[in-house]
Chain A
Amino acid sequence: MSGRHEELLEFLDKSGAELYALLTRLTLREDVAEELMQELFIKLSRSSGPNNEIGNWDAYARRAAINLAFDWRRGRRHAALQQLDEVPDPVSNEHSPLGRLIRSEELQETLDAIGRLKRASREALIRRYIQQESYDHIAEQMGKTSHQVRAMCSRAVNHLRRTVGPNHRQAT
């Protein structure tokens, strides 16, 4: 138990900042990312029991973080609409308030569309375009070939092109 604890703390030191950044990018809220980070590590500590050996901590943690972030997004969509005062400021602090709001809405819309992708496509897209990882690294982590990852990313981007934008907004 103590060994696993040390292992987790080591992993936290090594990849914690990156996981927190990933959660922040996917939720656009630092406070939520903080909560999800705790949830993620509790999940990791429970998943790493004697009967539950995790081969690749990094891949497992990233996948779990992505799933947690999109679960939160889905839950938030079902919850009651927030008051205008409660709408959080976007993380980026550029330009005028209106510009920031528009940019934030665009990002929310894009993230919602990413949330509608299949899990594998979503993971590949996020790791490639949001986390800026190489195709080879993603392929290695996901247990696929680089070519497959490229195809998945391409399909995901095409899907986003169809589901993001004014047409989709009108349709919904």
Chain B
Amino acid sequence: MSEIDENQIHERLKRLSQIEPAEEATSQAMQQVRDVLTKQQEEHSRVAASKPTALGMAERDKAIPKLRLRLPPLAVIKVAAAAMVLIAAGVIVGRLSAPSPIDVEELRAELEASLKSSLEPAIRQNVLDEVNSRWQSVFVANCAQLKDELAQQVRRDLTQFAAQSLAASGVQTQQQLRELIELIEAARIQDRRNIEAALEHIESQFGNGLVTLAARTSELQRLEQN
């Protein structure tokens, strides 16, 4: 840490030492101080004048013996004794008639217990209500959110399921159609074979009979027409 140059410090201190207040300000300040001191002095004098008894210790000492001489000493003793008796009696009566001192600790404990018993259920109920209401508000907010999320999830699942079902049923339908076509094709082949066999059987049984029958049939028709 670099330090400021010592010369700079001296220069600043020198600048401070060169500060001179204006002469007017100085004389004004001194005049004000003079006024304040004079006022203070006057007040002191006034206070002293308003207290004639405060003339001095010597005069006060002179005044006190004069007062003592007016009362005979015996009378003073009697009055003092009577006063003491009265005061003592007052103190004794006061002590006896005074209520027993309050045990602050006991009072505090009782007060604490009573306050605790009266306030605790109410505070507990309040706290519970507060917690319930907070939970409820939080739950309602969360419930709506959960409902939305659930509905979206169900919709997504259903859409996915439908798409999968459609795809699966398409494949199955195609396969069944293919099987049906194969069956039909097989049945046609079988029919053709059966017809062929029948025709061969007929041909073997009747030979040219059919041709002859046909020729005769056509001849008979011609004759009928004529």
Complexed CA–CA distance, A104 and B18 (Å): 13
What residue in chain B is nearest A106 (Cβ atoms)?
B12
Give the residues from 29 to 58 in chain B that come closer than 8 angstroms, CB to CB, to chain A: 29-30, 32-34, 36-37, 40-41, 44-45, 48
> Once bound together, how far apart are the Cα atoms of A34 and B22, in whole Å?
12
Contact A130 B37 (CB under 8 A): no
Q: Mark B1-28, 1 if CB is under 8 A from A, else 0.
A: 1111110111011111111111001101
What A residues does B16 contact at CB under 8 A? 25, 107, 110-111, 129-130
Chain A residue nearest in CB terms to B11: A106
Contact yes or no, A91 B36, CB < 8 A? no
The verdict on A54 contacting chain B, using a C-beta distance below 8 Å, is no
A30 proximity list for chain B (CB < 8 A): 21-22, 25, 29
Residues from chain A with Cβ under 8 Å of B45 in the complex: 1
B15 contacts across to A, CB distance below 8 A:
92, 103, 107
Inter-chain contact B17/A131, CB cutoff 8 Å: yes
- When chains A and B are docked, how far (Å) is the Cα of A8 from the Cα of B26? 17
For residue B25, which residue of chain A has the nearest CB?
A30
Segment from A70-78, A134-142, A155-163 that makes contact with B: A155-163
If A20-B29, A107-B12, A107-B15 touch, whether A9 touches B34 (CB-CB below 8 Å) is yes
> Closest Cβ of chain A: how far from B36's Cβ, in Å?
5
Which B residues lie within 8 Å of A131 (CB)? 17
Q: In the complex the two chains form, is A45's CB within 8 Å of B40's CB?
A: yes
Question: Given the complex, which residues of A lie within 8 Å of B41, measured CB to CB?
Answer: 1-2, 5
Nearest Cβ on chain A to B114's Cβ, whole angstroms: 48
Query: Would you call A38 an interface residue if the criterion is a C-beta within 8 Å of the partner chain's C-beta atoms?
Result: yes
* Partner pick for B37 among A9, A21, A25, A160, CB 8 A cutoff: A9
Check B33–A37 contact: CB distance below 8 A. Answer: yes
Complex CA distance for A91 and B21, rounded to whole angstroms: 8
Q: Nearest chain-B residue to A170 (Cβ)?
A: B1
Query: Is the contact region of chain B dominated by helix, strand, or loop, or is it mixed?
Result: helix
**B interface size (C-beta, 8 A):** 35
Interface size bracket, A side: 35 or more
Query: Do most interface residues of chain A lie in helix, strand or loop, or is the interface mixed?
Result: helix
Q: Quick one: which of A30-63 are within 8 Å of B by CB?
A: 30, 33-34, 37-38, 41-42, 45
Q: Do A129 and B33 touch (CB < 8 A)?
A: no
Whether the Cβ atoms of A161 and B9 lie closer than 8 Å is: yes
Q: A20-B29, A107-B12 are in contact. Are A8 and B37 (CB under 8 A)?
A: yes
Q: Which of A2, A13, A41 gathers most chain B CB within 10 Å?
A: A41
Q: Does A167 contact B (CB under 8 A)?
A: yes
B33/A12 in contact, CB under 8 A: yes
Contact yes or no, B37 A45, CB < 8 A: yes
A17 CA / B8 CA spacing, docked (Å): 28
- Quick check: A110 and B36 within 8 Å, CB to CB? no
Which of A's residues lie within 8 Å of B, judged by CB? 1-2, 5, 8-9, 12-13, 16-17, 20-21, 24-25, 28, 30, 33-34, 37-38, 41-42, 45, 91-92, 103, 106-107, 110-111, 125, 129-132, 157, 160-162, 164-167
* 18 additional A-B residue pairs with CB within 8 Å, beyond A12-B34, A103-B15: A16-B29, A17-B30, A24-B21, A38-B29, A41-B37, A91-B19, A91-B21, A107-B16, A110-B16, A129-B13, A129-B16, A129-B17, A130-B13, A157-B9, A162-B3, A165-B3, A165-B8, A167-B1
